[in-house]
Structure 1
Amino acid sequence: MNIGEASKASRVSAKMIRYYEQIGLIPAAQRTASGYRAYGRVDVHRLHFIRRARDLGFSVAETSNLLSLWNDRSRQSADVKRLAQAHLAELDRRIDSMRQMAGTLKALIRCCAGDERPNCPILQILEQPDDGCVEPEARTGGVARRPHGHRLAKPASSY
């Protein structure tokens, strides 16, 4: 089957199939005489496995490890369980962080009148420099969170 058919069967986009091949997550597809990628049932099964792992939030690296374990018939289920437990712990940490963000945003929203006046406590809090008392976590694409239970300073109001 061609890449479009493999994409439909596995529910992995053709773009992602090409990407997974490029980074070595899946082996290079066989090519037809005209140079098109050709996939079989085994390839679609592997793509389905990858999609399910990615749907559960496993990173590409973790998915690669899962694929290695899946292909290793001498594996121990304890190795798979350990990987899944580590991923669950990271998900729990991220959920806690998101709950803290939501709590902070709720508090900021409550402070804002949301009217025609230009003064906005949300923007006032965002413009404040970090207090430097909390070591930032290693994050990409985000900001360090304040410790749980930290109360926001009530913004100065000029209403």
Structure 2
Amino acid sequence: MAKANMTIGRAAKAAGVRIATIRFYERRGLIAQPRKPESGYRTYPDETVSRIRFIRQAQEIGFSLAEVAELLSLRADPRADCGDVRARAIGKRAEVQAKLDQLTQIRAALDELIASCPGGGNVRACTILDAMQREPAGAETATSSTTFRSR
């Protein structure tokens, strides 16, 4: 268990982060910066280490720091309902699914490009580079499609 009133170095070690991460979280308002006593060393309580671990865990499952701040606010609000947290988790899962769907489309486009490549010859006749140069079929802008079509 972490020791109460730890220096920033010990708090960082106990939370499994770098000192710079603690300072960053302080600047972002995710954790409070302890006041500096006359002795010159700020000390961090166990609760801060616990909060840092919470922030890191939430980030690891995909929440942005802004979303983590919202979760922390909900956690501190005695009127908040678990359903509010659940709704945010459902929204995050939907974002992750959309990213997975997009990655699946990208993989399919790459598979198509790789299959169309003869695997040798002059780079000026490279079917992969040629496909990347073309505008996607039916696209208004170059960024509106992630797939490439052979012509």
Q: Give me the TM-score of the superposition, normalised by structure 1.
A: 0.78
How many residue pairs match? The answer is 145
- Mapped contact 1:11–1:51 kept (Cα < 8 A): no
Tell me: CA distance 1:55–1:115, structure 2 relative to 1, closer, same or farther (3 Å): same
Aligned to 2:149: 152
Structure 2: gaps (5+ residues): 1-5
Aligned to 2:129: 123
* Deviation at residue 19 of structure 1 after TM alignment: 1.3
* Partner Cα separation in structure 2 for residue 116 and residue 153 of structure 1: 18
Q: Share of identical aligned residues, percent?
A: 35
Residue type of the partner of 2:76? Answer: N
Q: CA RMSD in A?
A: 2.3
- Mapped contact 1:101–1:145 kept (Cα < 8 A): no
Aligned to 1:96: 101
Q: Give me the TM-score of the superposition, normalised by structure 2.
A: 0.82
Per-residue displacement from partner, 1:29-57 (whole Å, max 9, x unpaired)? Answer: 33354644421101000000000000001
Higher helix share: 2
1:25-104 paired onto structure 2 within 5 Å:
25-33=30-38, 35-104=40-109
* Deviation at residue 86 of structure 1 after TM alignment: 0.7
Structure 1: gaps (5+ residues): 137-142, 155-159
Q: Which has the higher contact order (CA 8 A, sep 6+)?
A: 2
* Deviation at residue 70 of structure 1 after TM alignment: 1.1
* Partner Cα separation in structure 1 for residue 140 and residue 96 of structure 2: 22
